[in-house]
Amino acid sequence: MTRWENYLSTAEEIILVYDGELPLHHFLKGFFKQRPFMGSRDRRWVSQLVYHYYRLGHLWKDERAVPERILKGTFLCESSANELLQFFRPEWNEKIQLPLAEKLSILSFDGDVKDIFPLLSLISEDIDADKFAYSFFTQPYLFIRTRNKKQGAVIKLLEAANTTFTAVSNDAIALSNSTKIDTIITDKSWYEIQDLSSQKVGNLFHAKAGETWWDCCAASGGKSIMLMDKEPGVKLLVSDVRSSILQNLHQRFKEANIRSYEDVILDLTSPVTNSPVADRRFDQIILDAPCTGSGTWGRSPENLYYFSEESIDTYQDLQKRIAENVVQLLKPGGSLIYITCSVFKKENEEVVQYIEEKTGLKKQEGGVITGYEEKADSMFAVRLTKV
């Protein structure tokens, strides 16, 4: 068996046993750990083939021959000559640099993008359905946000390491997803790994020194670090339902040299009036709500493959409950910044409408943040004010 046949066979083996319960990158890590004889190049090739398979979304999902679907995915997702494709489908490899639309035509695709993303009727209206669906064939960039006016120094280190990059703005840099950024920039206070669309959410953070801010679903704290970089004089409270996540936040804050903040473990599905912060009132609340994560599926395409539509309603109910709960602690004139990394209108515009109707808050600015034209995630972020 040739090297290429072995790679294709191993990728098929993974796909046939993988059930979507674990994130694919975790599953692959465990799979390769049990096969120490596979070198880094072998692991890289096999992983790429598996991701090519899932990047097709639901396109040809009923294809009985898994290897054939892997090869189609490779043809569509790659843009330069591919040795494995040359071995199995040299006629495709010769045309691999053609535009995506022409390659799809070669594979007799009829142009119905619902075959890729069958839930397009459920996405927010400001999202271009075709561009969003086709974006699954492209691996998003790794984005970093430079801090403390270190962009120039970071760029010098990237250039010295012969690393390909694009400076997107004064503090955002796009890199290949495989870039080992921590080996190039060893001082973690110089940058944060943060998707470009997530960085744009910061445009809604109109912070003033002395204001009280609550990042109520803080997770690992990326939005809070961005807030503190914009206005270090705010008084910050972070909370999450999981103590382990807050431990990760503490480590990340330490690396970012952020020391002045409070933290508390809170289950925001329970009445906030019975919580340790019941007597507090905040100028601004960041609600980065639990969601389907559908705007990030370009990084984890297995989620589209295994996704159940019923989950959208489950998340919407959770988002409504949390939002209605936390706004009780908002000062008059204060703002709620509602954020999801979802593309579904049930999690986005419909939740904002619910917040307005139930709480009296009014939308001031924001909406969909489309990332598909910049190889970034797509998100939704709105600022609502308590009038």
**CA distance readout (Å), 173 to 154, 194, 267, 377:** 9, 10, 35, 15
Q: Are 264 and 276 a contacting pair, CB within 8 Å?
A: yes
**AA identity, residue 286:** I
> DSSP secondary structure string, 124-145?
-TTS-HHHHHHGGGSPPPEEEE
Q: Which CATH superfamily is domain 196-386 in?
A: Vaccinia Virus protein VP39 (3.40.50.150)
Sort strands 330-340 and 282-288 into parallel, antiparallel or unpaired: parallel
Q: Which residues are the active-site residues? A: 341
The annotation places the binding site for S-adenosyl-L-methionine at 240, 267, 288
pTM of the model: 0.95
Q: What is the pLDDT along the chain (387 residues), one digit of tens a residue?
A: 899 999 999 999 999 999 999 999 999 999 999 999 999 999 999 999 999 999 999 999 887 799 999 999 999 999 999 999 999 999 999 999 999 999 999 999 988 999 999 999 999 999 999 999 999 999 999 999 999 999 999 999 999 999 999 999 999 999 999 999 999 999 999 999 999 999 999 999 999 999 999 999 999 999 999 999 999 999 999 999 999 999 999 999 999 999 999 999 999 999 998 899 999 999 999 999 999 999 999 999 999 999 999 999 999 999 999 999 999 999 999 999 999 999 999 999 999 999 999 999 999 999 999 999 999 999 999 999 998
